[in-house]
Amino acid sequence: MGMFFHSADGAPERSADPAIRRANLRRIRPLFAPYKLRLSGVLLLIVISAGLGVLPAFLLKRVLEAIGRNDTTALSVSAGAMIAIAIVTGALGVIQTLLSNQVGQRVMHDLRAAVFRHLQRLSLAFFTRTRTGEVQSRISNDIGGVQNVVTTTATSIASNVTTVVATMIGMILLSWKLAVFAFALIPFFVLLTRRVGNERRRIAKTTQETLADISSLVQESLSVSGILLGKTMGRGDELADRFESDSLRLAELEVRQRMAGRWVMASIQTSFAVMPAAVYWFGGLLLASGSHAVSIPLLVSFTTLQTRLFFPVGSLLGVGLDVQTSLALFDRIFEYLDQPVDIEEKPDARAVGHAGDVVFDHVWFRYGDEWTLQDVSFAVKAGTTTALVGETGSGKTTLGYLAARLYDVTRGSITIDGVDIRDLSFRALTDLVGVVSQETYLFHESVRENLRFAKPDATDEEIEDAARAARIHEVLVALPDGYDTVVGERGYRFSGGEKQRIAIARTILRNPPILVLDEATSSLDNETERLVQEALDRLSEGRTTIAIAHRLSTVRGADQIIVLDHGRLVESGRHAELILAGGRYATLAARDLTSVDGAAAVLAPAG
């Protein structure tokens, strides 16, 4: 199981590079570009709200002065204006929250969709080296982790900055001397917060990596296959211990992340709390010195306005820490978006292809440094069946997957009806080539929906006809819910042979003229193999078929047998010819025997 052997995903480790970090920062802004109009509305509301928020301090000064003069008219007007401003500001806040959340959720949607769509474009090679749980963690945990920043923090920054600027202007207008005194500590606070933010960002990255490990462990060990393996191997307690260990590490990292710089923030908050007293002290000294620049109403209004400054400044400092944390998540998201697409559709790709001979012309391919296929050439005539046989690891499945362009050849070419498959559009190629894999995958949906996945507009009659052709219709109609039976996780409600026949029915429904059958009858008992083979025979009728098999008895009737050995084509011909030749195929056939009856079945010339 992958959970015992993998500790990292296929994406390169890059986020520590400062240049990449700066580049990622520049990439965040365009995420909001499609929503400029709504953002402009949000910013306008923020500016209006910030401006209105400063006015109550000036109105308070007028209220205090009116009380001192016993001017009830001025008192009533000023107090009424303060009430009206509070009501209007509250209403504007609701509208601002609505618009900002709409924008934020749209950006989140765009980001999730972009990652998912990009992953769909990556070749099979990426997924063979990446844990499924890791991919799920990037989409759910990492993108979910930046959700708060995208939906609320961005507007919070704009709102708080605007509020701070408006409040500072108001404080200067009331008394520039008191303002200079009150502003003295802010640069020091900002410097401290930046240092804390860098530490939080480092911890956040480690936290997300641990969370990805946990997601992978849960996905692998709590799937049906994982549970079966854990129970049959007696490793359930070990898996639980590993989960507890990772969970404890995650809990400790979360505590460290939340406590990073907490003493610094506590010092800042304490400083904010004592600042009004310091302003009263400083203003009192000015009054005592006989200065006419300060009065009691002005001093009270100033400290009221100053109090309004503390929350947005503190919030901005805290937001800075949250942003630093979220940037680590953006780094991980952009790593996936930057994964190279190694199989591209040409801009001038042919939208329509025609079935014909499938020709492998001097094909070379490798996954890493070692060659998996070396100079393989052969042709599959239209309407015929070619079987690929050989030892495990000889390159049989790779050849089949190359024909479906799940990978691209390193050298040479594969053509269909004379057209290089790299010149075909993806849609044209998938319409031409169908794959029935040994690893049958069924969605946790009804049988009907699993079949309809191949052809969304298929009628119920077409679905049932495909099931009949695949020898599975009688099994399905005998179920209590018939075709509406939910197949269960990965199809575990059905046997291996039944799942294979459902997969074959799905391919029949798609009706591709070229088939790649990847060991579709391996690991099945004789009776189930017979049923599946009958379904495959019906599926192959009139189609160009490339059959990959370990059981040589299933390919005796093939029009052509290609024998591979360590990635090279060593023999080709029909069954009887290759048996009489006494070469590699005959050796494989002899070793494939399990009984005297089996010997007769395999060694006898095809009828």
Over residues 491-509, mean pLDDT: 81
**If pLDDT is split at 50, 70 and 90, which confidence band does 249 have?**
confident
More confident position, 80 or 327: 80
Q: At what angle do helices 176-183 and 296-337 cross, to 10 degrees?
A: 40
- In sequence order, which ranges of 377-459 are alpha helices (DSSP H)? 396-403, 426-432, 447-452
Q: Is residue 343 within 8 Å of residue 395, measured between CB atoms?
A: no
Q: 3-state class of 547 per DSSP?
A: strand
pLDDT tens digit string along 358-397? 999 999 999 888 899 999 999 999 999 999 999 888 889 8
Tell me, what's the pLDDT at 375? 95
CB atoms closer than 10 angstroms to residue 116: 13
Q: Is residue 466 within 8 Å of residue 505, measured between CB atoms?
A: yes
Provide the token pair at 537: 């025979």
More confident position, 530 or 160: 160
Provide the token pair at 86: 């509070």
Read off φ and ψ for residue 411, nearest 5 degrees: -140, 165
Residues present in the chain in total: 607
CB atoms closer than 10 angstroms to residue 105: 13
Instruction: Write the DSSP symbol of residue 363.
Output: E
For the domain spanning 28-208+259-337, the CATH number is 1.20.1560.10
Read off φ and ψ for residue 416, nearest 5 degrees: -120, 120
Q: Is residue 386 within 8 Å of residue 403, measured between CB atoms?
A: no
Residue 308: closest CA among 59, 53, 58: 53
Q: Is residue 584 within 8 Å of residue 570, measured between CB atoms?
A: yes
What percent of the chain shows pLDDT beyond 70? 77
In the chain, where the domains are located = 28-208+259-337, 378-603
pLDDT tens digit string along 134-147? 777 777 777 777 76
Helices (H), strands (E): how many in the chain?
24, 10
Tell me, what's the pLDDT at 5? 35
Q: 3-state class of 364 per DSSP?
A: strand
Tell me, what's the pLDDT at 257? 67
Over residues 147-153, mean pLDDT: 69
CATH topology of domain 378-603: Rossmann fold (3.40.50)
More confident position, 373 or 536: 373
Residue 284: closest CA among 157, 417, 414, 181: 181
Q: Is residue 309 within 8 Å of residue 278, measured between CB atoms?
A: no
Contacts 24+ apart (CB under 8 A), 588-591: 588/389, 588/390, 588/391, 588/552, 588/563, 589/552
pLDDT tens digit string along 565-589? 999 999 999 999 999 998 999 988 8
Q: 3-state class of 562 per DSSP?
A: strand
